[in-house]
Copies of this chain bind each other. A is one copy, B any other.
Amino acid sequence: MNDYSEKGLLPAGLADMLPPAAAREARINRTLMDVFAGNGYLQVKPPLIEFEEHLLEGSGAALASKMFRVMDPVSHRMMGIRTDITLQIARVATTRMKQDPRPLRLSYSGQVLRVYGSQLRPERQFAQTGVELIGPSEASADAELILLAAEALGALEVENFSIDLTLPTLVPTLCKELGIDPEIAVSAREALDHKDAVALESYKAPLNEILIKLLKAAGPADSAIEALEDISLPEAATAQIEALKNVVAQLQQSAPDLTLTIDPGEFRGFEYQSGLSFTVFARGVRGELGRGGRYCLMDGESASGFTLFLDSLMRAVPRRPADDRLYLPFGTSLDQGYALRQEGWKTVAGLAPEVDIEAEARRLNCGQFLGPDGITKLS
């Protein structure tokens, strides 16, 4: 245990975030929470652990195998460490905040833990920041969320981001309307999700033709909608396309510069979504920046929301120059240091008389020091 390299060793997928990354992540999180608060979203903070059965309801079941569990010696019941915060917000909305007026706008920010990382996201702890809009089922609610995500990314100066819209319920609805066997319906959905044209061709008409058309429709919003309009679909599937068109029209009217794409067959990660869903990407940045969509609360209430992933955002947000640190030589008065900090300086105080103030300032990564003639920049 005296071996420092061993002492510093952390379990796979867990990491110490060091300077300046940790402050940068905190700044990104602040900006997001500020944008959410500016749009009337109220912060809630559920605990890191709670009774496991509450974390395994609905969409929580999908992450059951990824949840750390501990015994609660107080209640003698099993508790789980949360793998996702969305489900906790849904719990809060349907219990403690059930009586609050709808639309209920909630925001959150916190850490989640998973027993295993995924191939795309090897981290086992990551930070989630997001919002849920509880109550309304109107297209304006879907549009508000997408515009909110865009406003948040704009505040972070993320460039070249796009919103990829999907309808995870489209293929299941279509198959039901066409009287397709449920097992075949699942395989068709998966084939479309995997963009497996050969498999899609193999279904019986008219399903195969529709699936191929859905596959080809994926792309920029305008051309995708044009292609979707050309597909002859049964009633309920058509209604979903109409709802999508409605949201896209609202988005294009409000934010004509927003880059929107549509992939009507994308399904992965949206298993519990009940309507329009979306993923946020930025050009040249590995991993999704976030994802969201419409779902139903346990009590049947409509809800929609999105989560942004801070690890991906760290790769997408432009870096700012390092803080300009100001060295205050030993003996600088408290009042003087305080006044400089109020001006916005990050001060670093000398704790012992210096032999060479300039060298000491440099050693402590300060770009300037307070000299007899005021603030002196180091060359």
Contacts and interface: CB of A to CB of B under 8 A. Distances in A.
Contacts of A47: 10, 14-16, 125
A30 B44 CA distance: 16
Contact of A140 (B73, B111, B352): B352
Interface string A46-74: 11111101100100000000001110111
Interface string A220-233: 00000000000000
Nearest to A331: B140
Interface in A29-52: 30, 33, 35, 37-40, 42-51
Interface string A144-187: 10010001000000000000000000000000000000000000
Interface stretch (A89-97, A241-249, A265-273): A89-97
A210 B78 CA distance: 52
Interface stretch (A17-25, A196-204, A370-378): A17-25
B349 A40 contact: yes
Given A91-B7, A347-B38, A48 B50 contact: no
A13 interface: yes
Q: For the complex, would chain A's binding face be called helix, strand, loop or mixed by DSSP majority?
A: mixed
A14 B49 contact: yes
A43 B16 contact: no
B11 A72 contact: yes
Contacts of A43: 19, 22-23, 26
Contacts of A346: 37-40
Given A1-B53, A40-B347, A95 B7 contact: yes
A255 interface: yes
A79 interface: yes
Contacts of A57: 1
A18 to B, nearest CB: 6
A21 B96 CA distance: 14
11 contacts: A11-B50, A12-B75, A22-B42, A22-B45, A35-B341, A39-B349, A40-B347, A47-B125, A48-B48, A138-B351, A254-B333
Interface of A: 1, 4-5, 7-23, 25-26, 30, 33, 35, 37-40, 42-51, 53-54, 57, 68-70, 72-75, 77, 79, 81, 88, 91-92, 94-98, 101, 103, 105-106, 109-111, 113, 115-116, 125, 136, 138, 140-141, 144, 147, 151, 254-255, 298-299, 323, 325, 330, 333-334, 338, 341, 345-349, 351-352, 363-365
